[in-house]
Amino acid sequence: AQSVAQPEDQVNVAEGNPLTVKCTYSVSGNPYLFWYVQYPNRGLQFLLKYITGDNLVKGSYGFEAEFNKSQTSFHLKKPSALVSDSALYFCAVRAKDTGRRALTFGSGTRLQVQP
């Protein structure tokens, strides 16, 4: 079975400060890892993914994430938060070496960036 944990229901950060949204995963074998963002009354938008190679992945809107295999983590980061980054963020995983194509999502972390 595969699972994702996002230990923080909400993260508060001041505009201009760095932000981190945490994600740990459990999967058999190697993972494909994804971050999505959801704005109010909108579908999920893809931010970035880790497939293979460089552990630091850069994505949309200045976000990046670091894959850490030993800690089974894939934390989302941004050097300088914007108020417009306020949204619900989901981490997702699927196993690379199985036929299962469905993503398993975490419960989401609400990011609140204060002006």
Partner 1 sequence: GAGVSQSPSNKVTEKGKDVELRCDPISGHTALYWYRQSLGQGLEFLIYFQGNSAPDKSGLPSDRFSAERTGGSVSTLTIQRTQQEDSAVYLCASSPTEPYNEQFFGPGTRLTVL
User: Taking CB under 8 A as the rule, does residue 103 contact partner 1?
Assistant: yes
Long-range pairs, 69-72, Cβ under 8 A, ≥24: 71/24, 72/24, 72/25, 72/26
Q: Which of 51, 55, 60, 83 binds partner 1 (CB under 8 A)?
A: 51
The residues in 55-94 that bind partner 1, with binding defined as CB under 8 A, are: 90, 92, 94
Distance in angstroms (rounded) separating the CA atoms of residues 107 and 115: 26
Residues that bind partner 1 (CB under 8 A): 32, 34, 36, 42-46, 49, 51, 90, 92, 94, 96, 99-108
